[in-house]
Amino acid sequence: MSRGCDLCEAAVITTRYFEDDVCWIADCEICLVPMVVWIKHDDTPPDDVKDRLRSALRTVADVEFGDGNWSYDDHMRNIPDHYHAHARPPYFWRRGQQR
């Protein structure tokens, strides 16, 4: 855990969909879409962990948006040093946000 990291703190502020010893999934506070967070404070998970994170997010996103009706976005804009990824619905757009 890194002191001062919101993702390490893992406060339950929005809908929490899932949590285990590798990750947690909740709605992002900023864009309100499901977001998977690796519990380790690191920005580069090994491929096997990244696959597990994607799989966990897929389970939630398929229910929220429909099977495969979303995209995986792991461009870490606001917290670049702690791996996390969002499930984006079709045509997701926020003014001023780069895709």
**pTM (2 decimals)?**
0.88
Query: Phi first, then psi: what are they for 80, rounded to 5°?
Result: -75, -10
Extents of the domains making up the chain: 6-88
User: Quick one: which of 91, 66, 70, 78 has its CA closest to 37?
Assistant: 78
Which residue ranges of the chain lie beneath pLDDT 70? 1, 93-99
56 membership: H or E segment, kind and range = helix 47-65
Name the E strands within 1-99. 16-19, 23-27, 34-38, 71-73, 84-88
pLDDT at 1: 65
Overall fold of domain 6-88 = HIT family, subunit A (3.30.428)
User: Quick one: which of 21, 17, 23, 37 has its CA closest to 78?
Assistant: 37
